[in-house]
Structure 1
């Protein structure tokens, strides 16, 4: 904090850790006038620090076009190799479910992200999210399904089922010029006490691609926590995703999410996390096999 204050001419003080943040940290910080902000930091790897530094201007541009994400106040790289940014504090809490009112708000946001965006050139493959996801799911060597299959027999079984599903739907093309968050799960969607959208966070990897990727991430994360009355919201999200990239395109994005969460669960929580994500992937496959409403 002292280094950041020195580099940016600020006088923030740490006010405690915020919940969430599986791959880094988030802290509430307070200025001398009592104003609150959020400090996020991650230990840099590869070109990630360039992605974070480039994101500040991308976030500002997205906000000018109405994207509901907090403004970034500063960004940088510490001498110990931590990429960080400071953003406005937005009162809210992570969404718990994809209710129909929230789904309608999210569809409005994501439809506002359609067309006119281009990948950046900052060294991160996710600057073109469509090419990244297609490459992960379809390349012959070192694909995401093959990496998941190597984790164990249960993981191999779901990876085989994913590949069989994709073989049935045939080749997939994804649009490439929508604005894409890349990890639009419920934890990154902030709502107020009445469930209304107040902000979208963890936007460092913002890039171009197909908004079906974001629809699929929201649908995937909402399906397991849904109450019986949430089917209308989930169906709205799925239908919008299928309109944006076709049923096959949406399915590929949803299955990329499912396999990525298996890999992520294994890295973060070991066998228990992987088992939960494997079960979730099978449920997603069952849902995708049924026609959308």
Structure 2
């Protein structure tokens, strides 16, 4: 099993391939901040701007990208501000996507009103895939490793604490279905870093839909809750995040039965501890182990 970090985007290389194979003349404007793997800001010859991303070239990855473009159209029809895919290209060693650049910027502060609005957006995803039985359910990976994330082996190798967490995750996995149930549209990486807002703080965009699938929209609230555990840069931000976390904890207790919340919490704990082991360091591993324990014991 490959436990190396996921490679980051090399935008100049991807743009050169797009020119060579498709004649697409896109100008690189620079990297976009945030994200774990990377995205770049590009411009079309007519001045329109877009966001360049790239990923693996397997048949499954191509199918997922094509499916995602259609799902984002469904989301926009329900009032979810998702980007349109302007270009999808199958290159020799990767798949490149240039998507619409939505207005706004990532929120400077995470406060209760933002979390309330994000929660409201998840409600718009309710039952959105009821007429799309071909869209796969989102896996939880509690019993097996995921494709490049939610890997089990790093937890088994890191230390005694992560091995205990892995044992607990697998035990929860034997008591719960291995995929999300439901016909909702699920983002799967729903946090403030993937949201854009205007000057008033209103949401203008939701981005980074690479893992979109079928399931339970409430799963996205658990993803959002984990983000509330990130440290703030100052006392005001830390206080705002604590208030948002408290609001969201009450919401989760209200809308999710304990066993289901525990399974979703196990998935996010596995996902973030694994990612921190391979991409960050001991401080991040400690943080996510602490968050995991708040709901898993």
TM-score interval for Structure 1 and Structure 2 normalised by the shorter chain: 0.7 to 0.9
**CA distances 1:82-130 after superposition (whole Å, capped 9, x unpaired):** 21211111243334554101011111100111124257647xxxx311x
TM-score calculated relative to the size of structure 2: 0.77
Which of 207, 211, 217 is the matching residue for 2:223?
217
Q: Is the 8 A contact 1:186 1:222 kept in 2?
A: no
C-alpha distance in 2 between matches for 1:98 and 1:251 = 25
Deviation at 1:203, TM superposition (A): 0.5
* SS class of match (2:157): coil
Deviation at 1:183, TM superposition (A): 1.4
Aligned ranges for residues 94-133 of structure 1 at < 5 Å? 94-95=106-107, 98-117=110-129, 121=134, 127-129=136-138, 132-133=139-140
Q: Is the 8 A contact 2:74 2:128 kept in 1?
A: no
In the superposition, relative to structure 1, how do residues 47 and 142 fare at CA in structure 2: closer, same or farther (>3 Å)? closer
C-alpha distance in 2 between matches for 1:258 and 1:145 = 11
Greater per-residue helix proportion = 1
How well do the aligned residues superpose, as a CA RMSD in angstroms? Answer: 3.1
Equivalent position of 1:68 in the other structure: 81
Show structure 1 runs of 5+ residues with no match.
none
C-alpha distance in 1 between matches for 2:72 and 2:23 = 22
Matched, 1:232 2:243: yes
Deviates more, 1:155-164 or 1:42-51: 155-164
Which of 208, 215, 222 is the matching residue for 1:202?
208
TM-score calculated relative to the size of structure 1: 0.78
In the superposition, relative to structure 1, how do residues 203 and 146 fare at CA in structure 2: closer, same or farther (>3 Å)? closer
C-alpha distance in 1 between matches for 2:20 and 2:78 = 32
Equivalent position of 1:282 in the other structure: 289
Which of 12, 18, 24 is the matching residue for 2:26?
12
C-alpha distance in 2 between matches for 1:76 and 1:120 = 26
Matched, 1:150 2:163: no
Deviation at 1:202, TM superposition (A): 0.9
Which of 47, 54, 58 is the matching residue for 1:34?
47
Deviation at 1:194, TM superposition (A): 4.6
Show structure 2 runs of 5+ residues with no match.
1-14, 233-237
C-alpha distance in 2 between matches for 1:68 and 1:190 = 9
In the superposition, relative to structure 1, how do residues 74 and 238 fare at CA in structure 2: closer, same or farther (>3 Å)? farther
> How many correspondences in the alignment?
271
* SS class of match (2:190): coil
**CA distances 1:53-107 after superposition (whole Å, capped 9, x unpaired):** 22111111111111121222121211x2221211111243334554101011111
Deviation at 1:11, TM superposition (A): 4.2
**CA distances 1:134-178 after superposition (whole Å, capped 9, x unpaired):** xx22x3x669685354122232133346567x59xx944653211
Q: Is the 8 A contact 1:212 1:242 kept in 2?
A: no
Deviation at 1:239, TM superposition (A): 3.7
